[in-house]
Chains A and B, each alone.
Chain A
Amino acid sequence: MATIAPQTDTQVVVHEEDNSVWSWITTVDHKRIGKMYLASAFLFFLFGGIEALLVRAQLAVPNSTLISAQTYNELFTMHATTMVFLAIMPLSAAFFNYLIPLQIGARDVVFPRVNAYGWWLFLFGALFIQLPFILNLMPGVFDGPVIPDGGWFGYSNQTSAKYSPGLSIDFWMLGLQIVGLASLVASFNFITTILNLRAPGMTLFRVPVFTWMGMVVNFLLAMSLPMITVGLLLLMFDRNYGTNFYTPANGGDPLLWQHLFWLFGHPEVYILILPAMGIVSEVLPTASKKPLFGAPFVIFSGILIGFIGFGVWSHHMFTVGLGPVADAAFSITTMIIAVPTAVKIFNWLATLWGGRIQFTTASLFAISFIGLFTIGGLSGVMHASPPVDLQHQDSYFVVAHFHYVLFGGAIFGLFSGFYFYWPKMYGVMLNETLGKISWGVMFLGMNLCFFPMHFLGAQGMPRRYYTYDAGLNWETWNLVATIGAFTLALGVGISAVNMVRGWLKQGEKAPADPWDAATLEWSLPTPVPHFNFQTVPTVHSDRPFWDEKHEGGPPVSQARINEDPHKHVEMPPPSYWPIVASCLTGLFFVCFMLGKGYGAFDYDAFMTQMYVQIPVAVALFAVILLWSREDATPH
């Protein structure tokens, strides 16, 4: 077993990169965009976590008066909205951006400027959704609540102008449209990139599993986001212009919203979990020094989960009274999803079987992902049965279930990704001791916080209750869950400190291939040069770099294939048009705030909206025109 000496970084001449603020604002480099997604989404993750801590603090004891009902409703709404749309999704986008081109041997994504546009649009939308927290500090200026308070699911007709008359729902509704558009733009970019920019010889089944999951997720995004876009558009028409899509009194149907929302919302669950599964599928083989067991099965399961994910939405609606036939049908499709999911779990275990398992922080997170996700998956099978769901629905059992999936699953997978890819992204190793302590505290906190919620659900405690009576035997487990939440926060805090240290380059300098990994991104020098691959390698297997190092396979690393370290690589120039265009796109949506008719058509408000919105639209078209006319000769 020949082991090639590690490459030396001198094989590629890296010029000192311009690190000015302007260079970041105008960047079209997928690596920089990925890092910006990571930083912003991690901050939102911490922010959403603080909201969760306030919620748990309120529920620590019965009849607590720490937080008012209205504030509590705002907190759980913003906790979920932030975690789903502004933390987990963009954290996944961070890894897609950074890794997909590197994993497939590309120098960037297909549309680097559209990529930048999508990022700035996301940031605009995310800040717009959070803006009410600042506006809320100005009491008396706005009539009614401004912080979104209708739940992340925003069920109609609670969100109608009649029952939510303030601006709260408008911020939520328009903000989601903006971040949704950002995701949609990004999804087309990644799909085309994976399909078109693979290195020579990289057939689809030689594409790394993370990138495969990225492709499935981006297809899911491209197909499911239009559903919520339509749903939110109808909501906007109801609220602003007095239509009645969701108003039962005038012939509308609030259940229409539930169908549209969950047609998006259930694929969304897989949008949240599949990237983490992709990361785990990279970390576990590396940690056990083996290939992923049955990689085609893992990939096909991912595709199957994506497909069936579109046929299960009504399992969120077993209690609304769709009738036994619909309930039975959606129960069957839902349980079928358990099959490809189980296949993945078995394949991960088989990957570890017979391996030489390295207990790094990354692998600890990935290994615990398997156990925690298994628990979350199994409790999901329980309420896939409609009779059981009649007791589970909207109880804390469901809260336990999806936190095992989304925290034990998605977040643990993403944390595994932080520790695994940090050396490549930032050129320094994260501190392993801190990392392992953080993992231990998070693992303990997560189980202390969320496992008791199964019991609370069995004891009949409903979700979204800002207070509960004493004497129902809910006190103990609520207190335990709160203690768990704060433990969990401590664990996350330790990792946050670790990452800030790593970001400030405090720590051991990272070698190019610290984990002895198998895929192309590790064959590049660290820091990765602006153009990624000076010479694009030809790929002969699904583990090209491993084969080069250990099996005497054909070389793919720059150290061995790059003949001219000074070779000029043409890259797209930076541009400020993407950020200008994204700001105008965001403003276009914000203009809808002006036309608010509070549930009826208000001609004056509508005209005000038009007077502002039309010039914004014209400016946006002008900017797009200028963008397309800009001299973009590669340099």
Chain B
Amino acid sequence: MKQATKHLLVAAAALGLTACGSDLFPAESNPMTTVAPITDMGVAIQSVYGTITWITIVIGVLVLALSAYVLVVYRDKGQTENPEQVHGNPTLEIGWTLAPVVIVVMILVPTVTTIFELGDAAPEDKVEVKVIGKRWWWEFRYVPDGDMIKEEIVTANQIHLPANKTASFLITSDSVIHSFWVPRLGGKRDAVPGRTNRMWWTMMPPCSTVEGGIEGQTCTDTQPKDGEPLHFYGECAEFCGEQHAQMKFDVYVDTEGDFRKWADNMLNPKAPEDEKALQGKALFNELGCTACHAITGHQGAVSAKAPNLTNFGERPRIAAGVVENTHENLVAWIRNPDEIKHGSTKRANISRGPRGADDGMNVAPIAGKSDDTDEDGYPNFSEEDLDKLATYLRALK
């Protein structure tokens, strides 16, 4: 028996470790960990999460230990007599009906208070971003606030947020249901077509300035430095069709100064001057890219059908997080989107004939230079054109 008890204690200790989520899944090695929060929303969730985790682990270990005890003690030891035929014990049974009620109440009190806390309206001092789930990418539209956001800023698959203000999101979809999730920064909210969900969070102050540290978290710095934004990964959490796994986005938390610079640059981007880039710019019009893509500072490129490409060159990844933003990858992506991300709407929307999209988004008649297409009706771009286009797009920063 002693040996068994020892094993149980070791097992309990091992299980207990899992409760210290931020120790077991620290942010340094787990970029998408859900248990090392650095926003007020994340910390509010974590405090309920931690309480419930501990309660369930203690109950689980007790029940499993009790089972093990029963199995060892009451195993058939070769007796011939049948055991005493006990049919029940009302006192005991009422007891173990009431015990779970008490535990449930212990869990419900912090749960319900936190639900209403998270449901509160966002503070006034905020940056508000409209999040629109697309198939399969994200559009972000910053609501002008007269201060940091002077006019609407539109971007795709990448958000910048100032560390000193609350980030408030108005989440919806133009297609099917998606779910907006940046695990390190807060919980998820579904993007449901036809309705707008709200969610907001504020970065925690630097851990070292909070007395006693931040609950459920080791002391990692929560504040960016100038020129060194914090980088987080976001993803879609609701199944939304073929490329559900490939609608990822990047979140940067900037210092106030960096954020203002970024916002100004988004509204007044520098025009590329390189010769090849300028040829690419001309091709962007000629090939009909402007039918779908908008680029601030590129005259005539204002369509909101496809991702806004303003300052495309500064985005870390392309095709909603599928591949690194390199020249070769961009060329491959435009040459044949299916190779990077099969089934993407990019391919369907500019393909002619029966393989093209029939959802009102198709721009095949104006895409490409000629009727030269592959068997699915997708334009065959020349390698020279692709090179120029990619050069132009990557020069936008």
A binding-site residues for B, Cβ under 8 Å: 1, 68-70, 73, 149-151, 155, 157-158, 162-164, 248-249, 253-255, 288-291, 293-297, 319-321, 323-324, 327-328, 331-332, 335-336, 338-339, 342-343, 345-347, 349-350, 352-359, 367, 370-371, 374-375, 378-379, 381-382, 385-391, 393-395, 454-455, 457-468, 471-473, 550-551
Given contacts A328-B115, A357-B74, A391-B183, 20 further A-B contacts (CB under 8 A): A73-B241, A155-B239, A158-B239, A248-B195, A249-B194, A254-B193, A290-B84, A293-B86, A319-B187, A346-B93, A346-B96, A367-B67, A371-B63, A381-B107, A393-B179, A460-B32, A464-B244, A473-B25, A473-B29, A473-B30
Pairs A–B under 8 Å by Cβ, sample size 11:
A155-B176, A253-B194, A291-B87, A294-B90, A320-B192, A321-B197, A328-B115, A354-B86, A381-B56, A473-B29, A550-B82
For B179, list chain A residues within 8 Å (CB): 319, 393-394
Partner of A294, one of B88, B119, B245, B359: B88
CB atoms of B190 and A319 under 8 A apart:
yes
Residue of B nearest to A455 (CB): B25
Q: Cβ of B146 < 8 Å from any Cβ of A?
A: no
* Residues of chain B in range 307-354 having any CB-CB distance to chain A below 8 Å: 342-343
For A249, list chain B residues within 8 Å (CB): 193-194
Partner of A288, one of B74, B107, B235: B74
Indicate whether A343 sits within 8 Å of B93 (C-beta atoms), given known contacts A320-B192, A356-B83.
yes
Partner of A293, one of B87, B100, B233: B87
CB atoms of A163 and B175 under 8 A apart:
yes
CB atoms of B245 and A358 under 8 A apart:
no
Partner of B49, one of A323, A342, A387: A387
Pick from A249, A254, A387 the residue with the most CB of B within 10 Å. Answer: A387
* Residues of chain B in range 243-271 having any CB-CB distance to chain A below 8 Å: 243-246
For B99, list chain A residues within 8 Å (CB): 342
Partner of A388, one of B18, B48, B242: B48
Q: Cβ of B188 < 8 Å from any Cβ of A?
A: yes
Pick from B66, B75, B239 the residue with the most CB of A within 10 Å. Answer: B239
Indicate whether A356 sits within 8 Å of B34 (C-beta atoms), given known contacts A335-B107, A391-B183.
no
CB atoms of B82 and A335 under 8 A apart:
no
* Residues of chain B in range 182-224 having any CB-CB distance to chain A below 8 Å: 183-184, 186-190, 192-195, 197-198
Docked Cα-Cα span, A158 to B243, in Å, equals 12
Docked Cα-Cα span, A588 to B386, in Å, equals 54
Q: Cβ of B76 < 8 Å from any Cβ of A?
A: yes
Count CB-based A-B contacts (< 8 Å). 287
CB atoms of A293 and B88 under 8 A apart:
yes
* Residues of chain B in range 71-98 having any CB-CB distance to chain A below 8 Å: 71, 74-77, 79, 81-90, 92-93, 96-97
CB atoms of A151 and B239 under 8 A apart:
yes
Docked Cα-Cα span, A463 to B243, in Å, equals 13
CB atoms of B177 and A382 under 8 A apart:
no
CB atoms of B236 and A462 under 8 A apart:
yes
Docked Cα-Cα span, A116 to B88, in Å, equals 40
CB atoms of A370 and B67 under 8 A apart:
yes
CB atoms of B45 and A155 under 8 A apart:
no
CB atoms of B59 and A349 under 8 A apart:
no
CB atoms of B30 and A472 under 8 A apart:
yes
CB atoms of A289 and B60 under 8 A apart:
no
For A295, list chain B residues within 8 Å (CB): 87-88
CB atoms of A69 and B243 under 8 A apart:
yes
Q: Cβ of B1 < 8 Å from any Cβ of A?
A: no
Docked Cα-Cα span, A458 to B35, in Å, equals 7
Docked Cα-Cα span, A461 to B248, in Å, equals 12
* Residues of chain B in range 89-128 having any CB-CB distance to chain A below 8 Å: 89-90, 92-93, 96-97, 99-101, 104, 107-108, 111-112, 114-116, 118-119
Pick from B24, B116, B118, B193 the residue with the most CB of A within 10 Å. Answer: B193
For A288, list chain B residues within 8 Å (CB): 74, 83
Residue of B nearest to A335 (CB): B104
For A462, list chain B residues within 8 Å (CB): 181, 235-237, 245
CB atoms of A459 and B33 under 8 A apart:
yes
For A375, list chain B residues within 8 Å (CB): 60
Q: Cβ of B238 < 8 Å from any Cβ of A?
A: yes
Indicate whether A387 sits within 8 Å of B118 (C-beta atoms), given known contacts A295-B88, A349-B70, A394-B188.
yes
Docked Cα-Cα span, A157 to B241, in Å, equals 10
Docked Cα-Cα span, A163 to B173, in Å, equals 14
For A70, list chain B residues within 8 Å (CB): 242, 342-343
Docked Cα-Cα span, A378 to B15, in Å, equals 13
Docked Cα-Cα span, A288 to B64, in Å, equals 18
CB atoms of A158 and B241 under 8 A apart:
yes
Tell me the minimal C-beta distance from A389 to chain B in angstroms.
8
Partner of A472, one of B24, B32, B57, B92: B32
For A471, list chain B residues within 8 Å (CB): 31
